[in-house]
Amino acid sequence: MKRAFLYLLGRLGYDLVKCPGRISLNGVLANAKRNGLTPKSILDIGAGRGEFTRQALNHFPDAGILMVEPLVEFAPALSALATGRPKVRLANLVASDRAGTVRLNVHPDLFGSSILLEREETDVNGVPRAVEAETLDTLVHRHAMAPPYLLKIDVQGAEGKVLAGAQRVLAETELVILEASLLHFFADGPLIGAILAQMEMAGFALYDLFGLTHRPLDGALAQADLVFARTKGILRRRHTYATPEQRQALTRRLRRT
C-alpha cells in the first residue's frame, strides 16, 4: 500500500520531505550501521521497483543483494537496477512457506498485489495469476547468499508465510524489516500481534518502527514497518539507557525545564 502511495506521488510530481531522526527507512538503516550492523547479504522480499534496494545500497554498498519479486511488470526496473552490479541478483517468483505454484492476485495498482485476498468490496483484488513459489531458505542457498543477513519483507499480508519458509535464514539474520497490519485487510493475514509472537519465537525483539500508515476510511492506524533485531545480536548487546555523560546532560536539561 505504501509503495503505491509513493509511486503515485512521484507520478504527480511530488516528493516526500525527508523525515527527521529515525522515523524513516533511511534513518533506521543509518542508525543500525552506526551501531555495528554489517550484513554480507541483503534480502529484499517484495522488491517492487527496487526502492528498498536502492536505499540499502547507499548504506551497505559492498553487500550482496537478492531481490525477490513475482510481478513481471516490475522486472525491467529491477533488471536495470542490477545492471552493472554483479552482486545484485533478481528472482522473479514468490517467497512463501513452501515450493510450488500459487495464485497471485494482481491488483490494478500492481503494488498491492498479494497471494491473499483483500477484504474490500471493490475490484482491488484484480486478476489472479499463477506464479512460481519457493521458500526463502531454498532461494538463499540457490543464489549462494552469504550470512549475516539483513532481511526486508513487504508482501501485502503474507509476511508470516515468508518467515515460515526462512528458518535457516533467520538463524543467521541480524535485522528484519517487515510490514505489519493492525486490521484484517487480508483474509488469513496475520495481525501485528501474531507477527510479534512469531518473531519472538524466532529469536528476535522489536528494535524500531517507522512508516506508520493510516487508512482513509476513518483515519485509524492501519500498518507500520517493524524493525526486529536478533535478541542476542550486535544491536542489542547493551541494555543501559545512556552513558554517564549522556545521563548527566539529560539531567541538566530536565532540571532546567
Taking only the tens place, the pLDDT of each residue in 123-169 is 778 788 898 999 999 999 999 999 999 999 998 888 999 999 999 99
| Band (2; pLDDT cuts 50, 70, 90) | low
As given in the structure block, the three cell numbers for residue 172 are 543467521
Give me the percent of the chain exceeding a pLDDT of 90. Answer: 74
DSSP per-residue codes, 212-232: EEE-TTT--EEEEEEEEEETT
The CA-based angle 218-222-228, given to 5 degrees, is 160
Taking only the tens place, the pLDDT of each residue in 189-224 is 899 999 999 999 999 999 999 999 999 999 999 999
d(Cα 172, Cα 155) in Å, to the nearest integer? Answer: 21
Instruction: Find where cell 485476498 sits.
Output: 117
| Band (16; pLDDT cuts 50, 70, 90) | low
- Decide if pLDDT at 10 tops 80: no
B/e letters for 230-256, b = 16+ CB within 10 Å, e = fewer, are beebebeeeeeeeeeeeeeeeeeeeee
Average pLDDT, integer, range 244-256: 93
As given in the structure block, the three cell numbers for residue 19 are 523525515
Q: What does the domain layout of the chain look like in residue ranges? A: 2-256
- Decide if pLDDT at 225 tops 90: yes
Q: Does domain 2-256 have CATH number 3.40.640.10?
A: no
